[in-house]
Amino acid sequence: MQKTANLVTREAWDRAAGIFQTGLFQSYDWGKLMEELPNTSFHPVKLTSDGGQVIYVPVFEQNGLLSGNMIGYGGVISDRPISFKWLQGEIKALFGQKLSRILLPHGQTSFIEETGEQWAEKATHILPLPDTFEELWTNCSGKARTAVRYAEKKNVSVRLIGQESLSEFYELYKAHTAAIGAAYMLSQVFFQKLLESLGRQVFWVGAFLESEMISSSIFLYDHSHFYYWQNVNSPAGKETQASYLLMRNALSFAIGKKLQWVDFGYSHSKEIARPKRYWGAEEKRCRHFTETE
């Protein structure tokens, strides 16, 4: 079996994604964006089972390893769960090795088998969105409302981020990632390509004190979900509680778009998770596969 014979065009992939109403992280554009990461290639694979079931699999190759997701969720595009053992056999036949990891979004069952020591649970925080922002504002913690009002009293303003603000954002991003000791740093070109290729599915906002950007958040969305993807702050951003003001505007936008859920993502500490709970999010579980050595 030749690997190239199983790769599909953007048009075929987008057509399947539209039929099955897939998430943003399964899109062709997201796959191509991941090629901006070091030593990474995207392989849009199409498989057909013995029973004639057609399956699309986003496969990423980075530093010689195969993965079912990169900087986000993964999973196959299919009309029903498939055998994970079968999938791994097909992937090995194509690439000479199996998938080493895959992270499924909360509530998604891509595979018949998700058990064993290689499958584990990873936490995220999920917020169901009401019909109106007023309903969310009334029911969220008073600590969130107080933080928003504090930022407003400090004269923090909010506006959408575009290409014209990219350099200023990136300077803030670099300082933030250095301050928290992040494991990796994305390039400025990556963020530029994000705007160019997925701009219609990005809600990107910045908080400003006078003319200086002090905080910024990037949200991604598809037909149902709103993903809290990046947040960076300067010391002034933290002091003024600017991120709460950004979140207020973002949640209002998501409700206006009639989205159903906010996925706040994994938290590395209780301190990071706490504001998510203030907005009403609850901890949920995702299924995570990691190949044991």
Overall average pLDDT of the 121-140 stretch: 96
The Cα 3–Cα 93 span in angstroms is 8
What is the distance between the alpha carbons of residues 131 and 110, in angstroms, rounded to a whole number? 29
pTM value? 0.92
Q: What is the mean pLDDT of residues 234-257?
A: 97
* Residue 203 dihedral angles phi and psi, to the nearest 5°: -115, 105
pLDDT class for 214, splitting at 50, 70, 90? very high
What was the pLDDT predicted at 3?
66
Q: Is residue 165 classed as helix, strand or coil in its secondary structure?
A: helix
**What is the torsional sign of CA 184, 275, 209, 211?**
positive
- The CA distances from residue 202 to 106, 250, 291, in Å, are 21, 11, 32
Question: What confidence category does residue 186 fall into, taking pLDDT thresholds of 50, 70 and 90?
Answer: very high
CB atoms within 10 A of CB 43: 19
pLDDT in tens, 7-49: 899 999 999 999 988 899 999 999 999 999 999 999 999 999 8
- Rounded CA separation 247/242 (Å): 9
CA angle 245, 249, 255 (to 5 degrees): 140
- How much is the average pLDDT of 178-196? 90
Tokens 């997925």 locate to 198
